[in-house]
Structures are given as structure tokens and as C-alpha cells.
A and B are shown apart, each in its own frame.
Chain A
């Protein structure tokens, strides 16, 4: 009996370990792709794979996060308004699923703001007002959850820069936020090995607009 129990216990343990290793390996592979892919054709299979991981790993928010990030990237690569919205809907759905698992993750909220920001670009004249104000708010919400989140800061800086440019106003505020974001990129360390790390290059790009 003892051996049976022991072997059963070990079997479960090993399966869990094996699964965890599989999870990390799979995640690492797909995260790599969503970070580097430059076409919808490359992104779609990675997003699909992340969705599959999400469906198997019911307690992890990260697969949904990267699936949403991948969908968002597809939206930015797409040229058709209808398709962009479709990808953004998919991103939003994944974010909502992730929020059900971890409601207090600043990274998820920052990504949600990013979705709103891209919604604006689909039809700025009509959506500017509603979605840019939503984006601002959501970034601030993400920063309230974690003031150290460099991505939330960088995205906020982008919004501030866009607004300042549109009105021909001073970019001082935007540049300040972007600088702060860049500092946080160097100091911010998450204990989660799968935590997002993107955005530094984008911030450096933003800072080129600042003297």
C-alpha cells in the first residue's frame, strides 16, 4: 500500500514539475516571438499558442497577458480599421480573463490602457475624446497599483506627448514622465521570471523628442 501511495504521490509531484517546466519553456518560447515578431503571420501562431497555454493553466495570468500583448501588436500591424478593432477586442477579452485571475496586477492595467490608446488611432476624430481620456485614467490606475511600473510610465508619457504635440504645447511634462520611466526600467525588478520586460526601446525613442 505504502509503495502505491508513494508512487502515486511521486507521480503527481513529477507531473506537476514536468508541467511547470513545460509551462516555463513554452512561455519563454512564445514570449520571445511576441516580442520580436514583426508581422501578423508570425504573431498569430504565438498568440494561438499562448491562448492554448492559458486554457490549460487556469491559475496563471501571464499567458493571457502575452496573448493580449500579441493581439495588440497585430492590431498595430493591421491596416484595416475593422481588423484592428477585431484584434483589440481579442486583446481586451484576454485582459479581462487575466484580471479574473489577478485583479491587482499593474501590468495588466497598463496593457488595458495601451488597448485604449490604440483604439484612438483607429479613428482619432471620433474616438479621441472618449478613449484618450480612458487611456490616461487607466495608466494612472496602473501607477496607483504600482508607481514603479516603467511600462505604465512610458505609455503615459506617450499619451502626454501626443496631447502636447496636437496642441503645440510644451512637451516638458511628457519628457519628465519618459525620463522617469527610463530610470525605472533600470531599477524595476520583478520577482516573477515571466514578468513583462518590454518598453525600454520605446521609451528611448520617445526621449528623442526631448532635448
Chain B
């Protein structure tokens, strides 16, 4: 027995060994040190040495697979025959496309999220920017490409109007992303930054997936399943909120109720607005996430909001003459999105969103208002052949019902105008990566509009080239269209879509903690709504315009310890001939120079994060009827220095304080003029200003959870 065993043992060891050797290099011909070279499913193999060389002996026989792997590179495999004869293999490892230093589509966009990537912005930055008061648009307004339009609060991008920026949540369109506000007072975004894990703000040249936006796309990706149960309580100087998150094994549910009442605050600080009842709002939202099957993810989100305010508008010529303005806004938004990977290569995702928005206004008791409801349905399939080739196509339907009403005082009947629009579209896009240095994304978008029965095809193209380790050049081109504002479509449903064509060149260098970026662009507007012979009731698409500019961005969180700052500058040259403009002129929302400096400093000893933001805008045009030239006057320059402090005395407690316009500048956004001249023959003006120069906010945020270190810092 023993002899037999020994014999077998000897014979098994006596099989001839094969020597496998060679060298491992990358695509640039540099040696790869420490790569794992092995015979698949065996013990046999080795690591490449300092010159990339390897050599080992194996007992395996016959047809085998030689595998080589290394962190940051794609796995290499090759069939080899092991027959006792030396085998020499020269291995070339290809860099993985997704590694941090890879080339990415960059022209036109600012992405926050995917914290493993080097991005210009991180999700937390949006929440913690002084002066933004936790408003997404407020934070993005410190980036190049945006203009300060203080009386609006919306995102005005590269010579575009506020409505030319469209918000998408999980790929689904949001019809009215901003809360209601009194005339000439800034509105806030309806969605709190804490809901999102990633934000992509594109100032031009975006993907074919996004339509109905001619200047900018703000793409927000909501958080996935929550990981822990917690309750958050906020006590604010302007209200209170409470939120709770409950987590199960495969799903999570979060709900939040918020009540805002500015009355106590307005009692303390003088307002330029003659409030009857300052704004109050009740808002609730809920988010449910659940895993479906092995890899499917379903996300549901719902939001309701009801806000109201009452104020007096005073006549410019005779301030004693006043008109009461009573606004009640009702808003519902629901969104469902579903993602299902089908197999390694295919993904399918789809979604549905519903928006309802109503502004009910009473002007001196006379009802006038508008309602809009809409749905968006979308299905996208995505195919990834490998890291080098991705392709997607999708279809969507956006339908909107709009209605405006007012009471005719003579007939005492309600007059209504309405339209029903259905936009059906399809898009396709392919992304090809060549040699990890050159990436291109090309596609197109098809649209059919039911009101005009017009069919359009818009091309989109992005390329990026990264010659070395750091710097990257990128170019983007695209044709974009969107329906004109509701107030015009309701008068003339046959109006064509407004169009913009973007050309963008970009250069950027991003390292772990520093970023530099410069971008130049040219944008051509066509088909803008124009009043025929200045008649606001007779509209056509004869308007046009252009915008061009240079933008710079610098961010550094490395040089000074615990300090992070960024600087952005935008130069804008734009003119448009649209609506009531007698000729091409700089629009009233455009300012030539915009500059922002954002500073954040964490002081460990005080457990306090200090933030400051300085913003500057050069004067904006306005029309002075006492001056014959249209839009030829300029407002004074805009300056704002805002600060915030977040003090963390305990892990689950935050005391937050912020103040805008610390220097108390009298910023003027424009002038309103009386409809008729005064007795001296001159039109009288009134400056459009912030309701109060400063906004002071104090809040205490408490988080209750099992894990005591969790707090609401990311929510602020």
C-alpha cells in the first residue's frame, strides 16, 4: 500500500513542468510592476518585477489560460499550451477606462457627486456655500456661466433667460422647479439639496437625453436607499421642520414636514415690501426606495407645497394709490423611477413624473390665475459593450395642460385661455473611448410637437482629449429647442419652439484638491418669440440673438490647511432682438462681468465651519423711458458679501447661522417706471431691490439616531 502510494506520489510529481516567462507593459510601453500573472484557477503564477519581467514554472498541462491583472488595468487573458516547452508571453495591460485620471466629457458641465471621481464640486459644497441659504440655485450661482439676477433667484445661464434652464430629477422633468414669490422678489428652488447624491449642472452642450431646455440642464440624482433610522428636527428663525427615515432590509422610507412662517422675522427686520400677510408655507415630502429582485431599484418621491402671501403694490406716481395682491400657490410633484440591469451589458430604466402647479391670485379681490399640470413618461435602454463603447436610446412623452383665467369685470364671467401640448421624442447616443485619451459622445434627438405638428432632429456632439496625465481639452456642440413661455403659447399655440445652437471649447486641469478650468463659447438663438410691430398680442418667431463669452474657474483646497476656496469669473457679451425689443439689445438680465469668491474654513478648535461668499456683477441694462434709447441705461454694480457659521457642539447637534449682504449694500437690479409721465413730463422710477438688504437666518438642528455621530451637516 505504502509503496503504491509513494509510487503514485512520485509519478504525480514527475510530470514535466513548463516555464512561462515574459514581460508586462502598459499601452505606453512602460513596465507594470507587481502585476499578478497566473495560470487561471491554479496556484501557479508570480508577480512582475521592477522591470515588468516575470517567470514561473507550472505543473499544469495542456491548454490553459494565462491571466494578468493589476489595480487600475483591465484583466488580460490569453490561451497558452503547456507541453513542457518554455512559453514566452509579452503582455500589454490596458488602463481601465474608469480610473480617476481618465478622460471624461467635460465641456459645459459641472458635476458634483461620485465622490470617487475628481470633480470640480462635491455634493456637500452645494449645501455649505455661504449666501446660498441651502438653495441649489443659490450655490450654483457661484459658478461660471451664471449671472446674478437677484430679483429672480433662478439660474440664468450664458445670456439665457431663467426659464431656459430646466431641472430634471432622476432623469424626469420638473415643470416648475421654483417656489412662488411676490413680484420682483427671489424665489427658492423647491427641492432641498440634501435629497440628492449627485448634481450635474450643465451650462451648455448637454446630452441628447435632455430636451426642452435651450440654455442649461440641471440634473439632480436622488439618494439611494437610506442606511440608518434617524429623526431630524430643525428649529429655524423662520419656521420648523421634522423628518424621519425608517430603514428596512431592502427598502427605506423618509418623510419630511416643514412649516415656514416669515412673520416673526419680518416683525424684526424692516421690509421694502408692504406686506399684508408675509409668506407662509406648509410643505411635505416623502421618498421611498426599494430593491426589486436582485439588482432592480425603484424610487418614489412625492412633494406637496402650499404657500400664500398678501401684499400691497403701490403706484409709482402716487404711492398712496395701492392695489392688493394675494397669491396662493399649490404645488404637487410626484416622481417614480426604476432601474433594472438585464444582464452584464444591458440596462433598462424608466420613469414617470407628474407636476401640478397653480397660482391663484386676487388683484384687489379680482381673481386671476394659472394652472399647469403635466406628465413625463420615459423609457431608456442602455447597452455597454465594454468600457470603450456605450450606447443608449430612449423615448419619452411630455404632455402639459395649461390654463389661465381671469374674471371679466364687465360680464362677471371667467375668461379662460388654455392649451394642451404633447411632445413626443426619441433620442440615441453612443459614447466611444479610444486609447483612454480620446472620448467622443455623439447622438441626436427627435421631437414632435402636437401644437405645431412640427418635427425636428437636433444633433449633439461632445469630444474630449487628454494628452497627458492632467490637462484635458474638450469640445461640445449641440442644437437645443424648447417651447416658448406659457404666457406666449397661450396667446398663439402655433408658435414654433425657440432654438439655440451651442459651441463650447474647454480646457481643464483637475488634481485631487485643485481644479482649474477655462471655457469659451458661442451660442446662437433663433426662433425667439417676437411681438409683431410691438403688439404684445400678435406673436411670431422672428426673434434671434447671440451670446458669447469666456469663463474661468479656480479651486484650491490644498494650499492652506483646512481652507477650501474657489473663484469664478464670467465674461458675457450678448444681445437679442425678441419680444418687445425694437432692435437687438443687451437683455435686462445680462451683466457683462460676474465674479464670485467662495471661502470655507473648518476651525477644529472651535468645532465650527466658517464660510464666506463674495459676489460681484457689473451693472445690468434697463430702459429709461425718459431716454429715447432702448435698454441703454445701466444699474449700479452689484456687491454681496455673505457669511455662514455651522457650530457643532455635539455630534448630533448643529447650530447654524447665516447672514447675507454683510456690508449692507443697496443693490439695485433694475427700475420700474410709471406708465404715464408725471406733471413735469418725466416718467418716475422706482428701484427694484431685495425686500430687505440682509437676510439673517438662525437654526438649530438635532438628529436622533442610534449612531450618535450622525448629524444634519449635509442637509444644511
Residues of A within 8 A of B (CB): 6-7, 10-11, 14-15, 18, 22, 26, 40-41, 44-45, 47-49, 51-53, 55-56, 58, 71, 80-83, 85-87, 89-90, 123, 125-127, 129-130, 132-134, 136-137, 163, 166-169
Complex Cα spacing A48 to B43, Å: 10
Secondary structure call for the A interface: helix
Are A167 and B115 closer than 8 Å at their CB atoms?
A: no
Residue B272 is within 8 A (CB to CB) of chain A in the complex: no
Residue B124 is within 8 A (CB to CB) of chain A in the complex: yes
Which residue from B101, B116, B228 sits with its C-beta under 8 Å from A133?
B228
Residue B490 is within 8 A (CB to CB) of chain A in the complex: no
Residue B334 is within 8 A (CB to CB) of chain A in the complex: no
Are B47 and A169 closer than 8 Å at their CB atoms?
A: no
Q: Min CB distance, B126 to chain A, in Å?
A: 12
Contact residues in B for A137 (Cβ distance below 8 Å): 227-228, 707
Are A10 and B115 closer than 8 Å at their CB atoms?
A: no
Contact residues in B for A130 (Cβ distance below 8 Å): 115
Contact residues in B for A167 (Cβ distance below 8 Å): 607, 648-651
Q: Given A22-B43, A82-B99, is A41 in contact with B34 using a C-beta cutoff of 8 Å? A: yes
Are B650 and A14 closer than 8 Å at their CB atoms?
A: no
Residue B44 is within 8 A (CB to CB) of chain A in the complex: yes
What are 24 pairs between A and B in contact, CB < 8 Å?
A10-B8, A15-B12, A18-B9, A45-B46, A47-B36, A48-B38, A48-B46, A51-B36, A52-B43, A52-B44, A55-B38, A55-B41, A71-B71, A82-B101, A83-B71, A83-B72, A85-B100, A125-B557, A129-B714, A134-B227, A137-B707, A166-B651, A167-B607, A167-B650
Residues of B within 8 A of A (CB): 4-5, 8-9, 12, 33-36, 38, 40-47, 69, 71-72, 99-101, 115-116, 118, 122-124, 227-228, 512, 557, 564, 602, 604, 607, 648-651, 707-710, 713-714
Are A53 and B43 closer than 8 Å at their CB atoms?
A: yes
Q: Min CB distance, B121 to chain A, in Å?
A: 10
Contact residues in A for B40 (Cβ distance below 8 Å): 55
Q: Known contacts A86-B71, A167-B648; can you find 11 more A-B pairs with CB under 8 A?
A: A18-B9, A18-B12, A40-B34, A55-B41, A82-B100, A85-B100, A126-B122, A129-B124, A133-B709, A134-B227, A163-B708
Residue ID in chain A nearest B42 by CB atoms? A56
Are B34 and A45 closer than 8 Å at their CB atoms?
A: yes
Q: Min CB distance, A170 to chain B, in Å?
A: 11
Contact residues in B for A47 (Cβ distance below 8 Å): 36
Complex Cα spacing A11 to B123, Å: 61
Residue ID in chain A nearest B36 by CB atoms? A48
Contact residues in B for A41 (Cβ distance below 8 Å): 34
Residue ID in chain A nearest B98 by CB atoms? A89
Complex Cα spacing A49 to B604, Å: 43
Q: Given A51-B69, A52-B38, A82-B100, is A14 in contact with B228 using a C-beta cutoff of 8 Å? A: no
Q: Min CB distance, B555 to chain A, in Å?
A: 13
Complex Cα spacing A86 to B100, Å: 9
Complex Cα spacing A43 to B509, Å: 32
Are A45 and B47 closer than 8 Å at their CB atoms?
A: yes
Contact residues in B for A166 (Cβ distance below 8 Å): 604, 651
Contact residues in A for B557 (Cβ distance below 8 Å): 125
Contact residues in B for A45 (Cβ distance below 8 Å): 34, 46-47
Contact residues in A for B100 (Cβ distance below 8 Å): 81-82, 85
Most buried by B among A47, A129, A132: A129
Residue ID in chain B nearest A87 by CB atoms? B71
Q: Min CB distance, A29 to chain B, in Å?
A: 12
Which residue from B35, B43, B564, B607 sits with its C-beta under 8 Å from A26?
B43
Complex Cα spacing A8 to B615, Å: 83
Contact residues in B for A133 (Cβ distance below 8 Å): 227-228, 707, 709-710
Which residue from B12, B72, B123, B708 sits with its C-beta under 8 Å from A86?
B72
Are A10 and B227 closer than 8 Å at their CB atoms?
A: no
Residue ID in chain B nearest A6 by CB atoms? B4
Contact residues in B for A22 (Cβ distance below 8 Å): 43
Complex Cα spacing A133 to B245, Å: 14
Contact residues in B for A44 (Cβ distance below 8 Å): 33-34, 47
Residue ID in chain A nearest B35 by CB atoms? A48
Complex Cα spacing A45 to B47, Å: 6
Are A125 and B512 closer than 8 Å at their CB atoms?
A: no
Q: Min CB distance, A2 to chain B, in Å?
A: 12
Most buried by A among B40, B69, B72: B72
Which residue from A86, A90, A126, A129 sits with its C-beta under 8 Å from B99?
A86
Residue ID in chain B nearest A129 by CB atoms? B714
Which residue from B9, B564, B604, B649 sits with its C-beta under 8 Å from A125?
B564
Are B34 and A10 closer than 8 Å at their CB atoms?
A: no
Contact residues in A for B564 (Cβ distance below 8 Å): 125
Are A10 and B4 closer than 8 Å at their CB atoms?
A: yes
Contact residues in A for B710 (Cβ distance below 8 Å): 129, 133
